[in-house]
Amino acid sequence: MAVATHCPYCALQCGITLDAGTTPVGLSGRNFETNGGALCRKGYSAAQLLEHPERLHSPLERGADGVLHPVSWERALDLVVHQVRAVQQAHGKDAVAVFGSGSLTNEKAYQLGKFARLALGTSRIDYNGRFCMSSAAAAGNKAFGLDRGLPFPLADLDRAGTILLLGSNVADTMPPFVRHLESARENGGLIVSDPRRSATAELADTHVQPAPGTDLQLLLGLAHVLLAEDLADTEYLDARTWGLESLRISLASWWPERVQSLTGVPASVIRQTARTLASAAQAARSGGKPVYILTGRGVEQHANGTATVSAAINLALLLGLPGTLAGGFGTITGQGNGQGGREHGQKADQLPGYRKITDPAARRHVAGVWGVDPDIIPGPGIPAAQLLATLGEPGGARMLLMHGSNPVISSPNANRTAAALRRLDYLVVSDFFLSETAAQADLVLPVLQWAEEEGTMTNLEGRVLRRRAALAPPPGVRSELWLLAELAARLQAPTVFNADPREVFAELGRASAGGIADYSGVDYTSLDAGAAVYWPCPAGTPISTAPGERSGTPRLFLERFAHPDGRARLEPVYPQPAAVDDADLRPGTISLVTGRLLEHYQSGTQTRRVAELQQAAPAALAQIHPDTALARGISDGQEVVLENSHGRVEATACLDAGIRLDTVFLPFHFPETQNANLLTGDAVDPDSSMPEFKHAPVLLSRLERHE
């Protein structure tokens, strides 16, 4: 039987059709709005994971011999409860921590936050989305009073005349997205900023190549030109924003020649890019093609990521774009449920509905839905990087429950994370494969894969989608909703936990009601009937199931921004010196940037198990400019080593004149000695706690092997 659902990978959430009546399970692209029936290599091959021989089918307990052995679910549940009680009795409630994921369904993300705070009574919960969207979220909340990656339907880009794309290589990371750039390309208006000539930059009419870590200065230079040459939309700024004069003062010293000296981007290119954007925005206000500014992880995963996104938003506001039909600003969410995953309570400082956990009214509302006293809900916890770094240390968690994440590969300073996991008294990992993190666990719990579960996901444009089960799970595999409900009952939680995703979603709606991300008007019945629903969607919102119609709030800010006065904030930002370990300030260092490949996804737990993907990209390639390689005696295809004070990585040289001479690129999908995050440091953004993933000084040399 054919089942309409969505791809398990990125936040584009491409429509697919699964046919469980064939062997192997059939998978084809479905004519859904984000992908138009097209899929990338990852999506087309996703069904190969459903019957993979390495799939986990039984709980695994680490025995006295140090080996993981199959045990019953009864034994596994008893072990978790025993360990929770023992650790909390010895060290306090916060000694047990929970780590979630932007790949979990909305229902699981919600249930995980509720479980941590009520069944465990711990404040120590955060998730891997802290490593993905936190800087964009912090900047969006500051400027607009609300964070939704794209505050407009993705299809709006299909009419664009000009798009400035900063730090995103969608041609490799989410290839079906490229169809939404075609209008800008046909108009000669696709501008891509990236230190390397990526597959997306190859499509651009203008490729801007700033030095790694200087995106903020580039954006300040562009904004400076708009004000210096009277190109800003002053009518819009007067009517819809606050803070122009403070912003003007902060931008006064960022003339293009100064920016050129820091970024390497010619002053003439900076001026021309600003003028192009201003001219296109003016035309758009008169009925021409819209103009959009989009950011991705390349400019966000820095210790100044929030400031950089704020600078990009300032640029969009100066052009008069956000909240209009002349264009807009958006951030491209990465993980499959990266949007929904940050709305429902698995963040350290958050309750469902994108509410602040420190807000007394928010606590009262959510406590009322949960049927508990607000005072028993713990306060804010600590963000992901800090949570992981302090595991097993005094004051840190002693037991960790991990869901849908693989931080041994994906966390910054990965050596430190692996060591921290080893310090734990007890590690429980829920997964469907034995990831590098699961391999360190004391207990591994086998859970459902995407095609075996019901639920909802929220894609990069804020649209709530139905994930549908197409086949029964293998014997011995359990739903995480069931798992959390069983554990909560055994831990005598002060409220009921449901294992039915439909019931959990209904409860999520009640808990989110009145919040920024209000889902209370969304229901499975409407979604199953084909409704295109975007949050916020309060209860009572008319829902249309007619083809092509949109319900909820597909376009935010058309009348007002989400601040109480309805105005957006222009946020002056000031670049700070990069936080670099003194040991890495050595002659000969170059800048490491990391990113994804076409063939792989995130830590590679899934895609490295698909034969055709692994054969196409079996190992880490270090992309190096030929002149940089020549200066170090490196030839194409030769083994190289990259190292700094945090670690050492081995890779194969891939010479490419499209990358800057001062830059080397590594993918972050590979384990052990090829793990790019062995080289990333400890610095985090002061506002978002986003780690500095995209810029690390490294020494690059030939790998000398001695017999």
CB neighbourhood size of 255 (10 A): 17
pLDDT at 582 over 60: no
Write out pLDDT tens, residues 424-456. Answer: 999 999 999 999 999 999 999 999 999 999 999
What does the block give as tokens for 300? 């966000």
Map residue 67 onto helix, strand or coil: coil
The stretch 356-361 carries a mean pLDDT of 98
Q: How confident is the model at residue 575 (pLDDT cuts 50, 70, 90)?
A: very high
The continuous run of DSSP H or E covering 544 comes out as none
Q: How confident is the model at residue 248 (pLDDT cuts 50, 70, 90)?
A: very high
Q: Which CATH superfamily is domain 134-332 in?
A: Dimethylsulfoxide Reductase, domain 2 (3.40.228.10)
Contact, 208 vs 218, CB < 8 A?
yes
Q: How confident is the model at residue 707 (pLDDT cuts 50, 70, 90)?
A: low
Give the CATH architecture of domain 582-702. Answer: Beta Barrel (2.40)
Write out pLDDT tens, residues 61-109. Answer: 999 999 999 999 999 999 999 999 999 999 999 999 999 999 999 999 9
Q: How confident is the model at residue 24 (pLDDT cuts 50, 70, 90)?
A: confident
Cα–Cα distances in Å, from 291 out to 328, 379, 560, 665?
7, 42, 19, 30
Instruction: Check residue 706 and give its pLDDT.
Output: 65
Residues of the chain within CATH 2.40.40.20 domain(s) are 582-702
Contact, 47 vs 456, CB < 8 A?
no
pLDDT at 3 over 60: yes
Write out pLDDT tens, residues 216-233. Answer: 999 999 999 999 999 999
Contact, 307 vs 216, CB < 8 A?
yes
Residues of the chain within CATH 3.40.228.10 domain(s) are 134-332
Contact, 613 vs 600, CB < 8 A?
yes
| Whether CATH 3.40.1000.10 fits 60-132+337-447+479-514 | no
**4 class by beta-carbon count within 10 Å (0-12 exposed, 13-18 middle, 19+ buried):** middle
Cα–Cα distances in Å, from 612 out to 55, 97, 600, 607?
18, 37, 11, 9
Write out pLDDT tens, residues 171-222. Answer: 999 999 999 999 999 999 999 999 999 999 999 999 999 999 999 999 999 9
| C-alpha to C-alpha distance for 311 and 250, rounded to whole angstroms | 11
| C-alpha to C-alpha distance for 290 and 281, rounded to whole angstroms | 7
Exposure pattern of 306-321 as b/e (b: 16+ CB <10 Å)? bbbbbbbbbbbbbbbb
Question: Can you give the three-state secondary structure of 611-637, one letter per residue?
Answer: HHHHHHCCCCEEEECHHHHHHCCCCCC
The stretch 586-601 carries a mean pLDDT of 92
Count of alpha carbons within 13 Å of 220, Cβ hemisphere only? 26
| C-alpha to C-alpha distance for 703 and 618, rounded to whole angstroms | 19
What does the block give as tokens for 135? 């800087």
What does the block give as tokens for 139? 């900047």
| C-alpha to C-alpha distance for 692 and 306, rounded to whole angstroms | 12
Count of alpha carbons within 13 Å of 491, Cβ hemisphere only? 30
Q: How confident is the model at residue 134 (pLDDT cuts 50, 70, 90)?
A: very high
What's the chain's average pLDDT? 96
Q: How confident is the model at residue 704 (pLDDT cuts 50, 70, 90)?
A: confident
The stretch 560-571 carries a mean pLDDT of 97
What does the block give as tokens for 450? 């995407």
What does the block give as tokens for 470? 């197409």
Q: Give the residues across from 691 on adjacent strands.
A: 684
Q: How confident is the model at residue 584 (pLDDT cuts 50, 70, 90)?
A: low
Q: Residues of the chain with pLDDT > 70: what percent?
A: 99
pTM, to two decimals: 0.97
Helix then strand count (H, E) for the chain reads 22, 29
Please name which of 110, 90, 86 lies closest in space to residue 98, comparing C-alpha atoms: 110
Write out pLDDT tens, residues 469-517. Answer: 999 999 999 999 999 999 999 999 999 999 999 999 999 999 999 999 9
Instruction: Check residue 579 and give its pLDDT.
Output: 66
Q: Give the residues across from 328 on adjacent strands.
A: 292
Contact, 41 vs 598, CB < 8 A?
yes
| C-alpha to C-alpha distance for 531 and 528, rounded to whole angstroms | 7
Contact, 659 vs 670, CB < 8 A?
no
pLDDT at 574 over 90: yes
Residues of the chain within CATH 3.40.50.740 domain(s) are 60-132+337-447+479-514
DSSP string, 270-324: HHHHHHHHHHHHHHHHTTS--EEEEE-HHHHSSTTHHHHHHHHHHHHHHTT-TTB
| C-alpha to C-alpha distance for 404 and 416, rounded to whole angstroms | 20
* CA dihedral (320, 264, 699, 626) positive or negative: positive
| C-alpha to C-alpha distance for 677 and 692, rounded to whole angstroms | 10
The continuous run of DSSP H or E covering 44 comes out as helix 41-44
Please list the helix, strand and coil fractions of the chain in percent, rounded to the nearest 5, in that order.
35, 20, 45
Q: How confident is the model at residue 580 (pLDDT cuts 50, 70, 90)?
A: low
Task: List strand residue ranges (DSSP E) for 390-448, in order.
Answer: 399-403, 426-431, 443-446
| C-alpha to C-alpha distance for 11 and 4, rounded to whole angstroms | 17
pLDDT at 113 over 60: yes
pLDDT at 593 over 70: yes
Please name which of 450, 490, 647 lies closest in space to residue 79, comparing C-alpha atoms: 490
The stretch 143-148 carries a mean pLDDT of 97
Give the CATH architecture of domain 2-49. Answer: Single Sheet (2.20)
